[in-house]
Amino acid sequence: MTQQKTHYYPEINYLRGFAVLFMISIHVSVYFIEMTDVNLLTVLYMAIDVFSQAAVPAFIFISGFVLYNKYNTDFKIGSFYTKRFKYILPPYFSFSTLYIIVPIYYSQIIGKPLNLNISEILIKYLTGGAYYHLWFFALIIQIYLLYPLILKAYIYFETKNNVTLFLTLVFITGVIAEYFLGNDFLFDNGTQFVSYLFYFVLGMFMTKNYEFIKLKSFLRSHLFCIFILLLSGAFLIMVGYANEFFSYNLLIFDSIYGVIWNILYISISTLYFTICFILMFYISAYLYKSKRLLIIHKIGSYSFAIYLVHAAILNMIVLVLSKIGFNWNNLLFYPSVFTSTLILSIFSVKILEQIPHSKYIIGKMG
């Protein structure tokens, strides 16, 4: 197989922008779990959260798309790892250290010392456990480490004209892994890269077949299936939320029926997230072509840095607002917190960008 020429896809930056907006949305809308019962506002937050959950799959998809676009045949593995991790590991370790030190320092101030031993700190670094959003870095680092093997498998199936079989196998493997490992395997979900490989390989596939996928006829011909998957996926995930956070017993089955139902739930959820970010991809391509909403493109350029800083900013905003009684039970809570978190995150990134060698602190701007 010969090296294909690397092509620049500006619409990917739009997709990054949407993904990071949805990531902030997840961390705001998740406050629905603090509500005591399910009401109209709770359902609204749950619906926002369900759609926004496509953010992580979208980021994984983008990684597969971009990597395969640049590294699609034999390459120097050492050079690949150096380039991939040069601007990922330093920011990750910097912010992990910050998110470990600040709680320890704060606990000393309030008189409730937080003592962590070396092994606990090491586990936080290895699993992205220093703060709740950093697990994604543990996940993407594992996928990057395995990329040469993933690529070899992809090329093998491609030479056999069976890439769809490879996608199917990865999908099934991911569903099985999600069923058996859940969120309790080893340390946290940052270790469960197998469950996310489907999105990554799909990104590789989309790069190779971009011109075909871009056709509007492809979207129109599958419109009914897309609608059904979106509807059923959103419904099932919201039912899952009601069961998990509010002790409802909706669609609960025992014995073999429970196993079948859980596997079906995971499968539909995976397809649901896939449809969500594919639709975002179509919208991104349209926006780029029509030169509209350029702010989304700009946000996409800052997505890596925004991801790093937004969690701390969001928590500070919520803490301050809760002191004055403005919390998740207020209809304006979501739009207010979302908007202020986004603005302050961009502002913070612009400031950090002025620091010499800032790319080693907040990553390289897109």
Q: What is the pLDDT of residues 218-265, one digit of tens each?
A: 667 777 888 888 898 899 898 888 888 887 877 777 778 788 888 998
Measured on CA atoms in the order 345, 121, 81, 206, is the torsion positive or negative? negative
For Cα atoms 214, 218, 222, give the angle at the middle one, nearest 5 degrees. Answer: 140
Give the separation between CA 85 and CA 145, rounded to whole angstroms: 10
DSSP SS3 for 129: coil
Q: What is the pLDDT of residue 185?
A: 43
Give every CB contact of residue 293 below 8 A, 6+ residues apart in sequence.
14, 287
* Chain segment 157-177, per-residue pLDDT in tens: 999 989 999 999 999 999 998
Residue 265 corresponds to which amino acid? Y
Determine which helix (DSSP H) or strand (DSSP E) holds 341, and give its type and residue range. helix 333-352
Between the alpha carbon of residue 347 and those of residues 203, 306, 351, the distances in Å are 31, 10, 6
Q: What is the pLDDT of residue 340?
A: 97
Compute how many other C-beta atoms are within 10 angstroms of the C-beta atom of residue 180: 8
CB 281 within 8 A of CB 16: no
| DSSP letter assigned to residue 117 | -
Taking 70 as the threshold, does the pLDDT of residue 109 lie above it?
no
Q: Phi and psi (nearest 5°) for 68?
A: -70, -30
Domain spans, the chain: 20-52+293-366
Query: Which of 114-123, 313-322, 345-354 bottoms out in mean pLDDT, i.e. has the lowest?
Result: 114-123
Give the separation between CA 130 and CA 124, rounded to whole angstroms: 5
Q: What is the pLDDT of residue 268?
A: 92
Please write down the long-range contacts of 317-320, taking CB distance under 8 Å and 24 or more positions apart.
Answer: 317/341, 317/344, 318/31
Query: Which of 107-116, 136-145, 220-229 bottoms out in mean pLDDT, i.e. has the lowest?
Result: 107-116
CB 276 within 8 A of CB 56: no
Structure tokens, 234: 């959103």
Give the separation between CA 164 and CA 154, rounded to whole angstroms: 10
CB 239 within 8 A of CB 102: no
Closest CA to 10 of 348, 366, 303: 366
Model confidence at 183, pLDDT cuts 50, 70, 90, reads very low
Taking 80 as the threshold, does the pLDDT of residue 5 lie above it?
no
